[in-house]
Structure 1
Amino acid sequence: MSPEGKTSKPVRRKAAGFGDNSSGEGYLDGRLLIAMPVMGDPRFERSVIYMCAHSSEGAMGIIVNRPAGSIDFPGLLVQLDIIEKADQITLPENAETMQVLKGGPVDTGRGFVLHSSDFFIKDATLNIDEGICLTATVDILKAIAKGTGPKHAILALGYAGWAPGQLENEIQHNGWLHCDADPDLIFGDDVDDKYQRALRKIGIDLGMLSNEAGHA
């Protein structure tokens, strides 16, 4: 696993060559990583991670099934001075109910919004896969608060990062399975069920999964 703080910045697709390599064989952009039950790192135990970038330069993803505890989106908007406390009651419904997740152990003080592709900010939004984008600027939070943001979105605090070749090595050593992503697994509010649902997506029953099972 990537140690907390090891990667100070998220991997940027253009700078790291992801624009050329994202569709290359073996790369997992736009797919879900699923932690094997034998995952020894508590930061990633039973985690489902949406892969935002993956190439020979490394990898970056967002955990989509770990709530951020007592932090809620309206309260976060107040903390960031995007809205006044009194304005919380007038927020649009999707802002009131928007999930705040622990996206990973790196850069935990920074927010990353995974969202549907109906919202885009030039030079700020990364189009990851068909229908899924990533934006990490405060402008998207302001748009969501005003009701002009994406239809579907989750806010993640922090991200998961891997050095070149590290993720591939972990997969080879049965640390991870992977499967196709779908919007319901990414944006669904049934956070506690996402792990088992992701396993079922590739035909695996958690109760029958052997510790020696190979990767998908």
Structure 2
Amino acid sequence: MTEVSSLTGRLLVAAPALSDPNFDRTVVLLLDHDEEGSLGVILNRPTPVGVGDILASWAGLTGEPGVVFQGGPVSLDSALGVAVVPGDEGPFPGPRHRPGRGEPVGWRRVHGAIGLVDLETPPELLAPALGALRIFAGYSGWGPGQLESELAEGAWYVVESEPGDVSSPHPEKLWRAVLRRQRSELAMIATYPDDPSLN
């Protein structure tokens, strides 16, 4: 079996031709990617459900919009917290934790300043370190080799993530915004019409 180069921490941006309605115009943050499969969350699918309706203790720590996001079609009854904890790896805004103190309690680094939150942790322990938090219902998952097949078919564009992607205050504009910032022909795809038949 060929070794899989990890895409953990990168974004999958749905190509306009991707026909699966679960992923139409989505931006997926990969939280785990190896030879055993891939797991991520859709960053631009807000639901009408407020975080306070299901996780009241975390509601004050989430940014706008303060709603739960649909992370994907798998396990919609489970909640996943993704947070940016500004630290020593880059010039990110927000409170910093001091070098040498390790990661904040209840947070596990995924890539750079982005990590997973243990929602069983008392929020007040994590609050001082948080730069941004988003709550997801469900996740997106791929079995071994499945994502690689979809990439080979051209279903996804793989691009670098930025910490601000996790907490974009305008998730409905994220697909175009991520494509537009690329320094390649991908920037042109941001202008692709929502419904090509109307052209």
Per the alignment, residue 196 of structure 2 pairs with none
- After TM superposition, the score normalised by the length of structure 2 is 0.75
Residue in structure 1 matched with residue 145 of structure 2 by the alignment: 165
Question: Unmatched 5+ residue regions in structure 2?
Answer: 87-102, 194-199
1: CA distance between counterparts of 2:49 and 2:35?
35
The within-5 A match list for 1:160-199 is 160-199=140-179
User: What percent identity do the matched residue pairs reach?
Assistant: 25
Preserved CA contact (<8 Å) 1:111 1:136: no
**1:109 aligns to 2:89 (yes or no):** no
- Residue in structure 1 matched with residue 41 of structure 2 by the alignment: 62
Per the TM alignment, residue 201 of structure 1 is displaced from its structure 2 partner at its CA by: 2.5
Which residue type is aligned with residue 33 of structure 1? L
Counterparts of 1:10-159 in structure 2 under 5 Å? Answer: 26-68=5-47, 70-78=48-56, 82=57, 92=60, 94-95=61-62, 97=64, 98-117=66-85, 120-121=104-105, 125-139=107-121, 142-143=122-123, 147-148=127-128, 150-159=130-139
Cα 1:144/1:155, change in 2 over 3 Å: farther
Q: Decide which moves more: 96-105 or 186-195.
A: 96-105
Deviations 1:132-185 (A, max 9, x none): 10124332xx41699556221111110000000000000000110010000122
Flag the 1:208–1:76 CA change in 2: closer, same or farther, 3 A. closer
Report what 1:88 is aligned to: none
CA RMSD across the alignment: 2.6
Matched length: 170
Q: Distance between the aligned counterparts of 1:152 and 1:96, measured in 2?
A: 7
Secondary structure of 2:175's aligned partner? helix
Letter of the structure 1 residue corresponding to residue 71 of structure 2: G
Report the 3-state secondary structure (helix = DSSP H, G, I; strand = E; otherwise coil) of the residue aligned with 1:138.
Answer: coil
SS in structure 2 of the partner of residue 39 of structure 1: coil
Counterpart amino acid of residue 152 in structure 1: A
* Matches of 1:159 and 1:34, distance apart in 2: 15
Secondary structure of the residue aligned to 2:12 is strand
Report SS of the residue matched to 2:76: strand
Scaled by the length of structure 1, the TM-score of the pair is 0.70
Deviation at 1:208, TM superposition (A): 5.5
* Distance in structure 2 (CA, Å) of the matches to 1:64 and 1:49: 6
